[in-house]
Amino acid sequence: MKKKNRLNLSLKNVAFIKIISVVLVFLLFNILSLKLITGIKFDLTFNKLYTVTDNTYNIIRNIEEPINIKLFFSDSLSNDIPQIREYEKRVRELLLNYKKISDSKINLEILDPKPFTDLEDLASLYGLQGLQLNQEGEKFYFGAVITNSVDDAVVIPFFDVAREQFLEYDLTKTIFNLANTGRPIIGLISGLPFIGGVDNSSGTVELQDPFYLHSKITELFELKDLSIKTTSIPDEIDQLLVIHPTSLSKETLYAIDQFVLSGKGAIFFVDPFSEYEKTRTPSNQKTREIPESNLEKLFNKWGFSVEPGMVVGDVVNGRKVSLGNPNDQKIVTYILWLALQDKLLSRDDIITSNLDYVFFKSAGAIKNLVSNNSLEITPLVSTSQNSMLVERFKMQFRADPEALLNNFVPTEDIYTLGARIKGSVVSAFSEQELNELVADTEGHIKKNKEINIIVYTDTDILSDDTWLSQQDMFGRDNITPIADNGRLVINSIESMSGGKNMINLRSRGTSNRPFEIVENMQKDAELAFREKEISLQQELEETEKKLSEIKSGGTKNGNYDLEQSKTIEAFNIKISKIRRELREVQRELNQDIKNLESNLKILNIWLMPILVLLLFASLKVFSLKRKKVFYKSIGRIK
C-alpha cells in the first residue's frame, strides 16, 4: 500500500514539475527573444500591416543610391494621443523594414523634437507642421524629411492618420522618385489639339492654345507627341496617353496593342460624344456628325467594351443648366452633364481617394465581356443607381435637356465611367491580320499575363471649360479649378508611372481595429443615457424655473417668509440631487465601457496562453491515466 502511494505521489510530482518547467521555459523564451532575436518578427495583424507587399520589396531592394530619412515624432508629448502613437509605431516599423530590405541603403534617423529645443527649430526649418497642444506654446510634430544623394528633398509635413491605407504607397512612391531622378516619358496619341498648334476646323487657320492640363503634365513628366498616325512606339516611352482616338489605322492600333501587352501602363480617354468637338464645328457644318472614339477592336478583344453609341444619364448627379432667354429662364437638370462625388469616386484607390468631385460631359459606360476571372475591372468613377443609357443621336445636333429629363427612366444599374483594368489578355490581331499590316511584326506578343491600363469614357473631362473658371483680372487670366478633373488626370498618370511594381501598388488596411462589441455597447448606452439625461435636464430646468419664480416673489429687500425659504431650500436640494444623478449616470456609462474594454483586452492577451496550458494539463492527466493502466497491466500497481 505504501509502495502504491509513493508511486502515485511520484507521478503527481513529475507532472507538476513538468508543468512548472513548461511555464518557466515559455517565460525564458520570451525574455531571450526580446534580447537576442529582435530581428525575427511575426506579423499576426488582420491586414498584414507590418509586412510589405512584393511590389514594395522589389522597389526597395533595387535601390542603388542612398536615401536618408529623418522621422520627427514628439514622443514626449504623445502620451495623451494613443491613436497617433499607434500610427507612429506602424510608420516606424515600416521604415525600419525598408532599411533592412535595402541592405542599409536607406538610412533612418528617429528624432524627438522636444519643445523649445534645437531639434524643434530644425523641424520648423524643414517645414514640418507643428500642432499646438496648449497655451504654453508646446507643439507636437509627426512628419519626415526624405533626401537623396544629390540633396533632393521631399517633406511630409504631418503623417495624416486618414491616409493610413495609403501609407506604404506614399512612402514607396516618394523613395522611388528620389532614387530615380529621371522624369518618366509619356507618349501622347491624341485626336484633340491637346498640345495646341494650328487649328483649321472652323474653316480658317487659327493658332490653338494647349489645354491647361498640358502645362500641368509637362511640369511633372516629359511628354512626347507621337501623332495620331504613328505606326510605332519608341522603347523609351514609359507610359502611353491616348486621347479621343478616332479613325486610327490598323498599324497605329497594332502599335498600341503591343505596347499594352508589353506590360507598360496606358491611359485611354475615349468618348461616345465629344462636346469639345461639337464646339469646334463651324456654324455652316452643324449637321456634320461628331465622331465617337471607342477602340472597339482593341477593347473587345481584351475583354471589355465601352457601350457603342450610348451616353450615360444620371438624374441624381446631373448638373443644373439654364434654359430660355434671360427674361424667362428655367433651371433644369441636364442628366448627361454629371457632377460626381463622395462614394461615386472610389475611396480605396490612390487616384480618387482625396478628390471632392469631378465633372463629366456625355460619358460612356464600361462593360466587362468576360465571365471568368482573367480580367479585373476596378471602378474609379461611377454613377448612382438612378441612371440610364441614352442614344447619342439624341444630342447629335441639338440636345434638349428638358426632353431628356422628361423621358428619363432609370435602369437601377450603376455604370462605370472610369476604371483600372488589369489581367491576362490576348493580342487583338490574328496571324492573318499580321500579314496584312505594313508594320514591323517581329517579336509579336500574342498574350500577356497582366496588362495595366486605365480607361475613362469621356474626353471632355480634359477640356478647360469643363473644370476651370477663367476670369480676366486687369488684363491677366485668373484660372480657378471648379472641379478635381486635373487632379484625377495627374493622379492617374502618377499611379501608372514607375514600372510594374509601382503600378501594382495598392492601398492597405488600417491599424484601427475597434472592438465592435464595445462600440455597439457604447452607442446603446449613450442612447439610454441621452434619454435619461434629457428627462433629468427637463426636470432640472422646470425646478430652476420654479425656484426663480419663488425668488422673484420675495420682498424688496430680498427677504423671504418662512414658507418661501423652506420651498427654496427644498428646490436647491432637488437641483443638487438631479445634478448628482446626471453625473452618476455619466460615470456609470464610462465605467461600464472601461470595464468591458479591460475585460476584452485581458481576454485577447491571456486567452491563448491559458488555453495552451489547459490543453497541456489535460494531455498530462490523460497521459498519467494511461500510465496507471499500463502499470496495472504489468503488475507494478494494483
Of residues 554 and 572, more confidently modeled:
572
pLDDT at 54: 85
pLDDT at 381: 98
User: Would residue 404 count as lying in a domain?
Assistant: no
Half-sphere exposure of 474 (CA within 13 A, CB side): 0
Statement to judge: residues 488 and 371 lie in one domain: yes
User: Would residue 251 count as lying in a domain?
Assistant: yes
Cα-based distances in Å from 16 to 11, 28, 469: 9, 18, 82
| pLDDT exceeds 60 at position 508 | no
Cell numbers found for residue 365: 459606360
| pLDDT exceeds 90 at position 3 | no
Residue 385: strand, helix, or coil = coil
Which residue's entry shows cell 455604370? Answer: 415
Whether the CB-CB separation of 306 and 294 falls below 8 Å is answered with: yes
Work out the average pLDDT over 388-402. 87
Phi, then psi, of 622 in degrees rounded to 5: -65, -40
Q: Which residues contact 18 (CB under 8 A, 6 or more apart)?
A: 620
16-30, 48-62, 578-592, 605-619, range with the lowest pLDDT: 16-30
pLDDT at 291: 83
In whole angstroms, what separates CA 270 from the centre of its chain?
A: 26
User: Would residue 6 count as lying in a domain?
Assistant: no
Backbone angle region of 306, left / alpha / beta, with phi > 0 → left and psi within -120 to 50 → alpha: beta
pLDDT at 438: 87
Across the chain, mean pLDDT equals 83
Statement to judge: residues 135 and 263 lie in one domain: no
Beta strands 366-368 and 318-323, pairing class: unpaired
Statement to judge: residues 155 and 291 lie in one domain: no
Statement to judge: residues 280 and 370 lie in one domain: yes
Residues above pLDDT 90, as percent of the chain: 48
Look up the domain containing 91 and give its range.
54-178
Question: Residue 178 carries which side chain, given as an amino acid letter?
Answer: L
53-62, 109-118, 140-149, 623-632, range with the lowest pLDDT: 623-632
pLDDT at 234: 95
**pLDDT tens column, 129-142:** 998 887 777 899 99
Q: What is the pTM of this model?
A: 0.70
How far apart are the C-alpha atoms of 551 and 453, rounded to whole Å?
A: 78
Final residue before a domain boundary, out of 486, 507, 528: 507
Residue 139's domain is classified under what CATH number? 3.40.30.10
User: Would residue 37 count as lying in a domain?
Assistant: no
| pLDDT exceeds 90 at position 127 | yes
User: Would residue 153 count as lying in a domain?
Assistant: yes
Which among 449, 418, 446 has a CA at the least distance from the CA of 349? 418
Statement to judge: residues 572 and 533 lie in one domain: yes
User: Would residue 288 count as lying in a domain?
Assistant: yes
Residue spans of beta strands (DSSP E) within 93-219 = 106-111, 131-132, 139-140, 142-147, 153-156, 185-190, 197-199, 206-208
Work out the average pLDDT over 287-310. 90
Cα-based distances in Å from 122 to 75, 114, 115: 16, 11, 12
78 confidence band (pLDDT: 50, 70, 90)? confident
Kindly state the helix (H) or strand (E) to which residue 280 belongs, with its residue range: helix 275-280
How far apart are the C-alpha atoms of 146 and 66, rounded to whole Å?
A: 11
pLDDT at 80: 78
Statement to judge: residues 544 and 422 lie in one domain: no
23-27, 178-182, 278-282, 556-560, range with the lowest pLDDT: 556-560
| pLDDT exceeds 60 at position 331 | yes
75 confidence band (pLDDT: 50, 70, 90)? very high
Cell numbers found for residue 497: 508611372
- The dihedral built from the CA positions of residue 408, 414, 417 and 423, taken in this order, carries a sign that is negative
How far apart are the C-alpha atoms of 244 and 237, rounded to whole Å?
A: 19
19-28, 289-298, 412-421, range with the lowest pLDDT: 19-28
User: Would residue 90 count as lying in a domain?
Assistant: yes
Statement to judge: residues 488 and 528 lie in one domain: no
| pLDDT exceeds 60 at position 89 | yes
Statement to judge: residues 293 and 418 lie in one domain: yes
Statement to judge: residues 147 and 213 lie in one domain: no
How far apart are the C-alpha atoms of 485 and 415, rounded to whole Å?
A: 19
| pLDDT exceeds 80 at position 567 | no
pLDDT at 301: 95
pLDDT at 239: 96
| Burial of 628: CB neighbours in 10 Å, binned 0-12, 13-18, 19+ | middle
**pLDDT tens column, 41-66:** 555 454 555 577 888 899 999 998 89
Q: How many domains, in total, are found in the chain?
A: 3
pLDDT at 133: 82
Final residue before a domain boundary, out of 178, 209, 244: 178
Statement to judge: residues 93 and 148 lie in one domain: yes
User: Would residue 31 count as lying in a domain?
Assistant: no
Statement to judge: residues 478 and 566 lie in one domain: no
pLDDT at 488: 96
Statement to judge: residues 261 and 372 lie in one domain: yes
